[in-house]
Structure 1
Amino acid sequence: MPHKSTPSKKVSPKQKPRRVSGRPLADEAVGRQAILDSTIRLLKTRTPEQLSVLEVAGAAGVTRTLVRYYFSDLSGLLREVTELLMRQLQDRMEVVMRLQGTVYERVHQRLLLRLEFMREHPHFERLALSEIYYGENADDKDPADTPLQRITRRGLELTSMLLADSPASTIDPRFLHLAILSVSAFIPIAQPLLATLFGEGPDADRQVDDYLRFISHVLADKIQQADEVNS
């Protein structure tokens, strides 16, 4: 009796798991922070206008698709980077505000800290203006809780800490907040004027610090005077 051969079963090639459209694979999810960190590093030597999604992706070691998945486009990425930098700055300020010291010392340290931060991140002030103060907030679900409102709210809380030791002071913390911001935001964009007034080099840097100390004394004296009058 002839032997019937059993037909061999066809082995199908192993298929890769299907990827859900628009969502990165699990091992790619770690790339979000790398994208933010790489953008911050690039912004130390590039202007925001010089950046591209392709360059950021290359620096972060990820694909352009992943950058767009997390941030939609370059504008969305810059907006998140700016908010991250602002949180880092305010975290540092909170440490300074909680240190023991006179009102003058804490005002001076806050002014100095912001100036040093803007030297570390030369395009920070421009980013703050374009992405927070004048930025679009289409992605915010709550129109009453925009990035500007969140940052301003925390900034005012930090400024109010300067008045904690002067409970009788009638100074409006909003005025004090604006005074501190005005000084620290003006200096980085006024380098030609500062060079004309103070020259350049280490001696000029000392003159700028003397100016910060002068302003710190003015603000601290005003806080203490208002406290003494109303106590």
Structure 2
Amino acid sequence: MNTNESAATSYTTLRGDSVHELEIKRSRFITYLYRVETEAEARNRIAGLRKTHFDARHHCTAFILGPDRMTQRSNDDGEPSGTAGIPMLDALAKRDLPDQSHLSDTLAVVVRYFGGIKLGAGGLVRAYSEAVSSGLDHASLLRRQRLRIFTLPASHALAARYENELRAAGYQIEPTHWEADAALVHIGIPDTPEAAEELRVHVAALTAGAGELATATTRWVDLI
């Protein structure tokens, strides 16, 4: 594996942005969830909400980025230390998902309008954790998967047949590269040793042992 590639080959993220509101002891907790891929993008989203909700007392934040979740940040934004950002981050990081995946590339911003009743440290921890968890309950999620793209050289006469038969077998067929005297069929598979071995066996049968697979690149895709 390329040393620049993540150890994870799949993870879960948001299908789209969402917003959900809770009222706890007269305080309004408005949770915004965004799909983001960079820290700069996350901070731009946060800055935008500060302008939209300029009259709110707090704009607490947490985000997790990357397939391996190497970037994790949180901010209490004026709430007592440890009562907002960290509970929000925990709600993202420890989210139970049915496929035992993990959540990433996700930003949570909880905008709080103070209702006049103090919640205490424990109450704030529960409120911010619940705000993010409830927001995720109402959000739509999807799985991302890293594909490894293999190339299969073929004559012009055989390339179309290889494409059709591989596609019929359930493989992801990327655009074929046509050269003057041959073609390169591109095949995308889940980036696992098992999937690679299965492809090699299939290609060997398809080409009567003449096909020689080579690795081209990898890319991340959303699974619909």
Larger radius of gyration between Structure 1 and Structure 2:
1
TM-score (norm 2): 0.23
Higher relative contact order (CA 8 A, sep 6+): 2
The structure carrying a bigger helix percent of its residues is 1
